[in-house]
Structure 1
Amino acid sequence: MKYEELSRAALIKLLQDHDAERLESGKDGIVLNYTGRTAPWQIARQVKPRMCEINKRASVGDAAEEAVNELWDGENLAAMVTLYKYRGQVDLVLTDPPYNTGEDFRYNDKWDKDPNDPDMGDLVAKDDGSRHSKWLRFMTPRLWMMREMLKPGGVIAICIDHRELYRLGMLMDEIFHEENRLGIINWQKTTPKNQSSKLSLTTEYVLVYAKSAELAKTGLVERSALADARFGNIDNDALSDWKQGDLTGKGASKLANYAIQSPFTGEFHNPGERHWANKRAAMKKWLEEWGVDYEDFDIGDGRGKALALKGWAASTESQRQKLLAKSQSTSSKRLEQGGWPYLYWGVDGQQKPVRKVYKSLVRQGGVPTTFWLDDDEAPPAIDSVSWLRTLSGRSRDGIEELDAVVGKGHNFETVKPLRLIKKIIQIWCRKDGIVLDPFAGSGTTGHAVLELNKEQDASRRFILIEQGNDAKGDNYAKTLTADRIKRVITGKWKSGEREPSGGGFRYFTVRREKVDANAVNALAREEMMDLLLVSYWDRNDKTKSYLRRLPAGGYKHLFAVNNRDEGFFLVWSAPDEPSALTRTVFKEIIQEAKAADLAGRYHVYAALAPYTGNDIEFYQIPDKVLEHIGFNARADAYNNDGGMDAD
């Protein structure tokens, strides 16, 4: 029997048995249990896609630019369900949910029975005895949907503080599974403060999980301009630019504890309490590249035999002066020649021995490790990670960055710093990938994507979701989130003109009406176009399926084009008007396509299609529209108490 033939009760029993099997096998380990707990898939499947509309005045950029990125104004669970075409297409979910501090988390008790209720609910107080179970009930279906949005190799990075860290960790282990945990970033949000009675809370956390650890890729952080500025080529080395590096390694070593003699000054240099990091044979080879021969000689310093100028051991004091003068002449000529050896003695030959670190041989980035100390020496492991405030930014930096863009008075007291968010994006989202932030807040994620695209010549896309009703009822998705992104794009910051990042976004408003056949058939033409622009996707190329809308009123049927310059036509004037692709209508479509200089394939939306052809891609209204938005009338019946029973 097929799954779609099972009754609602039978499907639920099947999934519950599957969960029980995973628990018995130990694959899920410990599972949280709390008041009102419901399996996340049971909640998420009750949520219906919503009707939506494009706010043209709040959108930014020309038609092509605004089609790339999306900002959704509405409840994030409903918005993610409505974003069906992106399911399984997102590279990185990066988000900062409410922390349950008694000041920022709201819960609507109606969600326990109907997760479709769009109201935010009341603030959950610090002394609410069920605050933790409410937070878990709120987060569980949303995390499930975030997982559904990810590609098979996608990654989620979710910010949290100490209040819900342990519960979130267990919930993430349950939904994403422990074996897919990539690491925990512990970042320093502020400097320590003197507190006599308790610990100073200076850090917050980012939990990083993959949908599948085997498929996920951890990238390198591109080198900063400051790191690149350390490199130069004052000696015209043919290999590449280079910077100064240390010849020694940490700790003592008997075999690598000896002195080497400078061919310029005759001084003997030893590694001190460290050791030479390269083999003795290599050290001798690099020394002799200065045109001077070396030999082993015990100088009586209690270390191993030194590498001394050849003939030094058997020479008298006067002979050593002549030997050194000859060495100085030879090595000085080599210094003037340029293209110095790997081991060198400073730009004037008078310094202690150092080595060259070639830019061409250095990885052009670094994977973070504990404290992320050095761009060039970062090992490939992540695991548990600490990032100092100098490397990830402070919370105060985030607030100051927001102040600079939109001005003060925004009432945001906690804003993630751009440096932290940009690092995470660089590591886990490819340059042409999609970043989703379901708790967009002030829009830091969108700001970071735009800056990175400009800095790296990348084409990452963002999808931001924010409902944003605070205690005063301010819908700051429009007044703050969209305003910040718009100012970054245009360069019109409150603190003064900046270089525009470029780009654009569409601003969508999630409506209360659920999507079904009756709702689709009742739409006016402009509303229908909005829905088609949201829902359309190409089965063969979902990631580039967005349509570029054409100016309203320019054509009777043509309303959009895709990235292949193929036209999309809507045969729909009003709900009570005929909607049929006839031969006469198709002739009109051909003329419009020629006038717009479009490719010869026609994508046509209509209720009926008496006329067909090989070059016509027909999308029936409402069936194809509902399919593209993930609505299945038969499956939807399973969500109702009077669900369908199998015979």
Structure 2
Amino acid sequence: MDYEQLPRAALIQLLRQHDEARANVGKDGIIMSYTGRTAPWQIIRQVKPKLSRIIKKSSVGAERYQAANEIWDGENLSTMVTLYKYRGQIDLVLTDPPYNTGEDFRYNDKWDKDPNDPDLGDLVAKDDGSRHSKWLKFMTPRIWMMREMLRPGGVCAICIDHRELYRLGMLMDEIFGESNRLAIINWQKSYAPRSQKHVSTATEYVLVYAKDSDRAQTRLLSRTEEMDARYKNPDNDKDGVWKSSDASAAEVRETGTYAIQSPFTGAIYYPRDKRGHWANDAPVMKNWLEGWGSAYVRRDLKDGFAKAMVLKGSKFVDGEPVVGDKLVEQAREKARQRLEEGCWPTLYFGLKGETGPQLKSRLQEVRKGKVPMTYWADDDYITPMQIGSQSWDHEESGHSQTGINELDAVVGRGHEFTTVKPLKLFKKITQIWCRSDGVVLDPFAGSGTTGHAIVELNKETEASRKFILIEQGNTEKGDRYAKSLTAERVRRVITGDWAAGKRTPIPGGFRFIELRREHVDATAVNALAREEMLDLLLTSYWNKTEKAKSYLQRLPAGSHRHLFATNPKNEGFFLIWESPESDSVLDRNAFKEIVGEARAAGLAQRYHIYAAIAPYTGPGIEFYQIPDRVLEHIGFNPRADAYNNPEHADV
């Protein structure tokens, strides 16, 4: 960079950013040095916001959900710069970047001079001597931008394995500051040792940093009276009130799918329509079943599944229990007696012993957590006082094979993803570090685990968290899987259209947005067609008093001439713009039309109007001049216009 060619304002800004960066690290902090290093704030200055388009046919759900959640198909650094309305507004950055394995990491050499180049580049080979410095050059500006996206009390959680753990840790210390490190989480990605020369690697890591540790909150959400009211104690359980929960789960167990026999009726039950597994391991299930007074054994029923867990000595013909079996009658009497005694086993069969198997979820366990020091319970969490460096085993976080199985169940096999983070891990991190109405950003969305986790977690905890996913990956066939996999997975979770079988739909949705190659400037905005302009307004609008909470619900296309969206206050948004060649004037006649449209739609008497010029002004009008106010919402200052000045294009 030729500093002598920079204007005075740019030099002052550069020095200010440098001082801020040094302050972030701290007087005694570290600054990494590697081949080709450029200060991240200098790289960010070169990255230009781009135009985008909303792909309606790939968007999902009701408009209010589409307005809240976004899946972006585009290069993540450019996309984060373009997401100006969310800068300083993200509660949690949760992401799983490429690990530099020689199989998943691409680097474009053109980025060294122009970080705006949209190409992914070539795979970095395992024997590339500069692979670590390339990975750092790739990650440094992105981590810097992740920090910029966080609100003052926001948290960044990044998954990593042993290959780049130490370099990422030092980089996070530099950008976030060592004092803002909240946790180094060690989670068990597998529980079966792999054949290796020395030590089998069975764990991976999550590095958790706060933007400001004094303002970040490592806590769980307070339980409401309504949530606790669901817990009853019909059997006088000595451990207190409880509620029923599903005895089956999607998580794979080594014992496989198998049937269990009811001690009350002798009927055979399978987990979740024979497609899942029981939520607990076989020895635990056996102990609970025998708590009803009868012995159980494993027996092959020739049903195509693993050995069933049945009453010891019970009779079967062609895999079905024999009607009138005396042993079953004896078991029923014992079970009924146990039912009358109260304080039933954790696995029970309804209040009268007439239903399929269910689990007792105790409120006491919910409050305390089931395993000390891990801050995790199966369906609720406790507030951790300190996290530090902790280990989460696979029972608490899930494991890698679980993540693959979860992806298979939703989209089917053939997705070519060999490493997928488990939902438990991402749900746990989200509950600990993101408030119930917060915003989660994943700049390396991959197979869409973050979106899947947020949708399910919102349902499970009655929350309203929002997500922004960014992905630009390509398969070997050139398929941009942001649409075919990332968005497709989240779509299937919302609609219940799983590859493994139909599930209950979950309320939710998202806008699918493609990042275009054209950079944003006044000329580009003024050249947009009406539908293109609408896409830009919908994705970029924010209110200074609400920031990222501001969102617009789009109205059906063609339903009005000017009215195109409403906000949560029931105020209308109007665009006077037919095409780049047409006049865009807010005059008296145009305002009369706008008032008429607002009245017909039952809207509040406050009018948000976009137009090029406004010779007419009146009460209740909020005027947004095109292109200046539009550019302002994207973080583009048309008066400084540093992005469009060819003389300073390298600034």
Q: Does 1:93 align with 2:93?
A: yes
Amino acid at match of 1:40: P
Deviation of the 1:63 alpha carbon: 1.9
Deviation of the 1:378 alpha carbon: 7.7
8 Å CA contact retained: 1:572, 1:606: yes
Q: Does 1:163 align with 2:167?
A: no
Match of 2:8 in 1: 6
SS of 1:633's partner is coil
* Structure 1 segment 42-191 matched on structure 2, within 5 A: 42-191=42-191
Q: Does 1:441 align with 2:446?
A: yes
Is the deviation greater in 59-68 or in 600-609? Answer: 59-68
Amino acid at match of 1:124: V
SS of 1:415's partner is coil
Change (3 A) 1:362 1:200: closer
Deviation of the 1:15 alpha carbon: 4.0
Match of 2:519 in 1: 514
Distance in 2, Cα, partners of 1:69 & 1:174: 31
Match of 2:632 in 1: 627
Distance in 1, Cα, partners of 2:441 & 2:23: 32
Q: Does 1:582 align with 2:587?
A: yes
8 Å CA contact retained: 1:368, 1:378: no
Q: 2:555 aligns with which of 547, 550, 553?
A: 550
Match of 1:30 in 2: 30
Amino acid at match of 2:136: L
Q: Does 1:363 align with 2:393?
A: no
Deviation of the 1:235 alpha carbon: 4.0
SS of 2:58's partner is coil
8 Å CA contact retained: 1:490, 1:500: yes
8 Å CA contact retained: 2:562, 2:575: yes
Deviation of the 1:586 alpha carbon: 0.2
1:215-261, Cα deviation, whole Å (9 max, x unpaired):
001123899xxx9999946448898669xxxxxxxxxxxxxxxxxxx
Change (3 A) 1:563 1:368: farther
Match of 1:381 in 2: 386
Change (3 A) 1:378 1:90: closer
Deviation of the 1:363 alpha carbon: 3.2
Distance in 1, Cα, partners of 2:461 & 2:492: 20
Change (3 A) 1:18 1:553: closer
Match of 2:418 in 1: 413
Deviation of the 1:369 alpha carbon: 2.7
SS of 2:152's partner is strand
Unaligned runs of 5+ in 2: 1-5, 244-339, 344-360
8 Å CA contact retained: 1:185, 1:386: yes
* Structure 1 segment 436-515 matched on structure 2, within 5 A: 436-515=441-520
8 Å CA contact retained: 2:66, 2:511: yes
SS of 1:564's partner is coil
Deviation of the 1:376 alpha carbon: 8.9
Distance in 1, Cα, partners of 2:601 & 2:427: 40
Deviation of the 1:542 alpha carbon: 1.6
8 Å CA contact retained: 1:371, 1:387: no
Change (3 A) 1:610 1:96: same
8 Å CA contact retained: 2:97, 2:444: yes
8 Å CA contact retained: 2:76, 2:444: yes
8 Å CA contact retained: 1:67, 1:548: yes
Is the deviation greater in 629-638 or in 157-166? Answer: 629-638
Amino acid at match of 1:574: S
Match of 1:327 in 2: none
Distance in 2, Cα, partners of 1:147 & 1:612: 41
Q: Does 1:208 align with 2:213?
A: no
SS of 2:421's partner is coil
Distance in 2, Cα, partners of 1:241 & 1:165: 42
Distance in 2, Cα, partners of 1:430 & 1:616: 35
Deviation of the 1:600 alpha carbon: 0.8
Distance in 2, Cα, partners of 1:377 & 1:582: 59
Distance in 2, Cα, partners of 1:120 & 1:541: 35
Deviation of the 1:456 alpha carbon: 1.2
Distance in 2, Cα, partners of 1:406 & 1:157: 26
8 Å CA contact retained: 2:376, 2:428: no
Distance in 2, Cα, partners of 1:368 & 1:125: 42
Match of 1:598 in 2: 603
Deviation of the 1:391 alpha carbon: 0.8
Distance in 2, Cα, partners of 1:513 & 1:146: 23
Change (3 A) 1:364 1:528: farther
Deviation of the 1:9 alpha carbon: 3.6
Aligned CA RMSD, in angstroms, stands at: 3.1
Distance in 1, Cα, partners of 2:432 & 2:156: 12
1:430-451, Cα deviation, whole Å (9 max, x unpaired):
1111000000001000000000
Aligned pair count? 526
SS of 2:454's partner is helix
Amino acid at match of 2:541: Y
8 Å CA contact retained: 2:68, 2:466: yes
Give the structure-1-normalised TM-score: 0.76
Q: Does 1:540 align with 2:545?
A: yes
Deviation of the 1:640 alpha carbon: 5.8
Distance in 1, Cα, partners of 2:436 & 2:383: 21
8 Å CA contact retained: 1:367, 1:382: no
Match of 1:259 in 2: none
Match of 2:398 in 1: 393
Rg larger for:
1
8 Å CA contact retained: 1:7, 1:643: no
SS of 1:603's partner is strand
Distance in 2, Cα, partners of 1:133 & 1:595: 61
1:409-428, Cα deviation, whole Å (9 max, x unpaired):
00000000001010001111
Distance in 2, Cα, partners of 1:467 & 1:403: 21
Q: Does 1:524 align with 2:516?
A: no
Is the deviation greater in 358-367 or in 573-582? Answer: 358-367
Give the structure-2-normalised TM-score: 0.76
